[in-house]
Structure 1
Amino acid sequence: MSVHPMAYETQFFGFTPQTCMLRIYLAFQDYLFEMMVVVESVILKKLEALPDVQISRFEIRRSTEKFLHFMKARFDQLFRKMEEVLLQLVLSIPDNVLLPEDRVHQQYPYSQEEFCALQDEISQLQQQCRAEAAAGQALRAELEEQRAVQAELEKVVQWFDGLENVCRERGTSNFKESLVFLTQNCKKLQDVLRDVEGKSKKIKKQQQLL
């Protein structure tokens, strides 16, 4: 059997030509062995029908094996010639023939250095794409945060607008004066609340002592 790798033929056919030839060889060999078994059984039947035959089954088996070895040797010679013809003419691809998926290499040839440079460029572009994607994600997160802050600011503006309307309804036209007035009242309320809490604590302590 041929040991030439025939990688291009394997790419085209989807199997190695040597494997194909091996299967053909084994199929013919099995058929030859089966035929020898049939021939031996026919000879035995013929001999059993003849009277006064001095040939034993062992001699017939030995003769059959000799004939099988002879036939196998001739078959191997013929198969080697058949294998040479099939591998060279049928299961081989000429040197001037390109597979469709390899024609692009003929149209756009490049050296090993150019291929490495192209690989480096692709790697750099991939890194840039990842960096741009990360930057885009950070910008989207910042925009979401700005939208949230803007919504809170709009709520504050609405609250001030409502407060100003209340002040106008109360007869106070100056918003700053109203805001100062409200701030002072809040401080007074806080002082009163602290005073009430202090007195409440004193009462609780007196009750505990009683």
Structure 2
Amino acid sequence: MSFVPMCYETQFFGFTPQTCILRLYISFQDYLFDMLLVVESVILKKIEKVPNCGISRSEVRQSTEKYLTFVNDRFNQLFQRMEQCLLKMVLKIPRNVLLPEDKVHIEFLYSKEKFDALQNDTKSLQTQYKAESLATQALLAELEEQKAIQAELGKILAWFDGMDKICREHGNIDLLESFAFMVQTSKKLQSTVKTIDKKHKKLKLDPTSKKLL
């Protein structure tokens, strides 16, 4: 039996050509063995009808086994030729024949360089996709944070509106004007504190001022 791999033929037929040939061989062997058993039984019946034949059943069996060996040797020689014929002509797909699912390779021919370039492009796209996915997640997280801050600002504005309404109902000045005045006053105080601080630093650095003190 030949053990040459025939992958394309296996893909086409759905079984390996060697398996098919092996099954044929076994079938012929079984048929030959059964046929000789039938022939042996017929010979034994004929011998039983012949008086004083002098041929025993064991001698018939030995003759059957010898004949089986002879026929089997001749059959193996013939089967080797049949195997070569089946593998080269019957179960062999020519090189110019393509399966329907493989015809796409004719339309889209790719060399090793093109395949490597496609792999590199795929890796680059995967890296870019991961980076964009991380950026999208960061933007979504920032958006959620902004929504939370906006909600807090809304609460603060609602509180200011409530306070302003209460002040107006009790005849007080406008709350926004009051806060603006407080902000201006705070800025003036901060400016005054900075001026005093500068003068204090100058006094520390001026030796004449220490003598006067």
Where on the TM-score scale, by shorter chain, does this alignment land: which range? Answer: 0.7 to 0.9
1:43 aligns with 2:43: yes
Give yes or no for contact 1:3–1:18 (8 Å, CA) kept in 2.
Answer: yes
Aligned to 1:68: 68
Alignment of 1:84-99 (within 5 A): 84-99=84-99
Aligned to 2:211: none
Aligned to 2:127: 127
Alignment of 1:32-181 (within 5 A): 32-175=32-175
Distance across 1 between alignment mates of 2:78 and 2:90: 17
Over residues 8-59 of structure 1, what are the superposed CA-to-partner deviations in whole Å (9 max), with x where a residue is unaligned?
2122223211111111111211222222222222322332233222111211
Give yes or no for contact 1:9–1:16 (8 Å, CA) kept in 2.
Answer: yes
Identical-residue share of aligned pairs (%)? 61
Which residue identity is paired with 1:129?
Answer: Y
Compared CA separation, residues 139 and 177, structure 1 to 2 (3 A): closer
Larger displacement relative to structure 2 (45-54 or 149-158): 45-54
Distance across 1 between alignment mates of 2:46 and 2:165: 128
Give yes or no for contact 2:167–2:175 (8 Å, CA) kept in 1.
Answer: yes
Compared CA separation, residues 176 and 33, structure 1 to 2 (3 A): same
Give yes or no for contact 2:6–2:16 (8 Å, CA) kept in 1.
Answer: yes
How far has the Cα of 1:60 moved from its partner? 0.7
SS at match of 1:65: helix
Distance across 1 between alignment mates of 2:176 and 2:135: 44
Aligned to 1:202: none
Given the two structures, how large is their TM-score scaled by the length of structure 2? 0.76
Given the two structures, how large is their TM-score scaled by the length of structure 1? 0.77
Give yes or no for contact 1:2–1:18 (8 Å, CA) kept in 2.
Answer: yes
Any unmatched runs of 5+ in structure 2? Answer: 180-213
Distance across 2 between alignment mates of 1:82 and 1:170: 116
Compared CA separation, residues 46 and 163, structure 1 to 2 (3 A): farther
Equivalenced residues, count: 180
How far has the Cα of 1:177 moved from its partner? 7.5
Q: Greater RCO between the two (CA within 8 Å, min separation 6)?
A: 1
Distance across 1 between alignment mates of 2:126 and 2:176: 58
**Deviating 4+ runs (over 4 angstroms):** 176-179
SS at match of 1:82: helix
Any unmatched runs of 5+ in structure 1? Answer: 180-210
